[in-house]
Amino acid sequence: MYENILELIGHTPMVKIKSLNSNKNVKVYAKLEGGNPGGSIKDRIALKMISQAEKEGKLNKKRTIIEPTSGNTGIALAMIGAIKGYKVEIIMSEAVSEERRKMIKAFGARIILTSADKGTDGAIMKARETVKKYPKKYFMPDQFSNEYNKIAHYETTAKEIWDDMNGKIDYFVSSIGTAGTIMGVGKYLKKFNPKIKIVCAYP
């Protein structure tokens, strides 16, 4: 029995990939982060950043959580805000899919759209301008510079991967956005086995 869906974040399954792997001499495993309640790995960092801000007294119910995002972190923060009782405003490019917008709105968060031609950078600038103008009203986790982004992965994702694989890892491959996943997981794995190679897949 769980108190709320936040307790379901993490401990996602590790699955052996067979049909998509053409090299029979190589074993490939995937950590299914889509199994998190918000549907992505971003649930981990959102929960860590918010929990840490609460501990440090930077966030209380009088302040609104605001964050620029291309989607998944926004969904995660909206979900966490709904559970914890915070108002949430998500700033994103109007190029973001309608599906992601609907998920964010479903959790009760407000969405502010910025010009598509400025991409996520435009959303970041808008968020920072808003916080600068109303510093007492808003709290911005800022996933792009928040150290608890990579710490979340160091403490949870990486440990789960190491335990799931019983330490039998030659390569760790990760895509990169904020770089929190690859930095946090990479640091943890290298601590236990410096020979593990960390591979970044850049979009």
> How does pLDDT run across 136-173, given as a tens digit for each residue?
999 999 999 999 999 999 999 999 999 999 999 999 99
Same domain, 84 and 116: yes
Co-location of 62 and 111 in the same domain: yes
Whether the pLDDT of residue 22 is over 90: the answer is no
Distances (CA, A) of 65 to 3, 38, 46, 131, 201: 23, 17, 11, 10, 30
Burial class for 122, CB neighbours closer than 10 Å (0-12, 13-18, 19+):
buried
Where is the domain boundary, 89, 123, 139? 139
**Do residues 84 and 135 share a domain?**
yes
Together in a domain, 25 and 57? no
Q: Is 35 exposed, middle or buried (0-12, 13-18, 19+ CB in 10 A)?
A: middle
Q: Which of 117, 139, 161 finishes a domain? A: 139
Is residue 41 exposed (0-12), middle (13-18) or buried (19+ Cβ within 10 Å)?
buried
Q: What is the pLDDT of residues 64-83, one digit of tens each?
A: 999 999 899 999 999 999 99
pLDDT at 203 over 80: no
CATH number for 22? 3.40.50.1100
Residue 50's pLDDT is what? 99
**pLDDT band at 51; cut points 50, 70, 90:** very high
Is 80 exceeded by the pLDDT of residue 93? yes
Task: Verify whether residue 42 is a known catalytic residue.
Answer: yes
pLDDT band at 33 (very low <50, low <70, confident <90, very high): very high
Catalytic annotation, pick one of 16, 24, 27, 42: 42
C-alpha span between 107 and 83 (Å, rounded) = 9
Q: Are residues 71 and 24 in the same domain?
A: no
Query: Do 53 and 115 sit in the same domain of this protein?
Result: yes
**Quick one: pLDDT band at residue 105, thresholds 50, 70, 90?**
very high
Taking all residues of the chain, what is their mean pLDDT, rounded to a whole number? 96
| pLDDT band at 115; cut points 50, 70, 90 | very high
State whether 17 and 48 are in the same domain: no
Same domain assignment for residues 53 and 107: yes
Provide the residue range defining the domain that includes 177.
Answer: 5-36+147-201
Nearest residue to 67 via CA among 20, 128, 149, 121? 128
pLDDT band at 202 (very low <50, low <70, confident <90, very high): confident
Position 116, amino acid: A
The answer to whether residues 161 and 111 belong to one domain is: no
CA-based nearest residue to 27, from 155, 186, 164: 164
Q: What pLDDT, on a 0 to 100 scale, did the predictor assign at position 36?
A: 98
Residue 104: pLDDT over 80: yes
B/e letters for 65-90, b = 16+ CB within 10 Å, e = fewer, are: bbbbbbbbbbbbbbbbbbbbebbbbb
Closest CA to 178 of 33, 68, 98, 91: 68
Per-residue pLDDT, 126: 97
Q: Mean of the pLDDT values across residues 86-101? A: 96
Q: What distance in Å separates the CA atoms of residue 43 and residue 181, rounded to the nearest whole number?
A: 12
At 170 the pLDDT is 98
Q: Contact, 20 vs 53, CB < 8 A? A: no
Gap between the Cα atoms of 72 and 160, Å rounded: 21
Are residues 50 and 124 both part of a single domain?
Answer: yes
Q: In this prediction, what percent of the chain has a pLDDT beyond 70?
A: 100
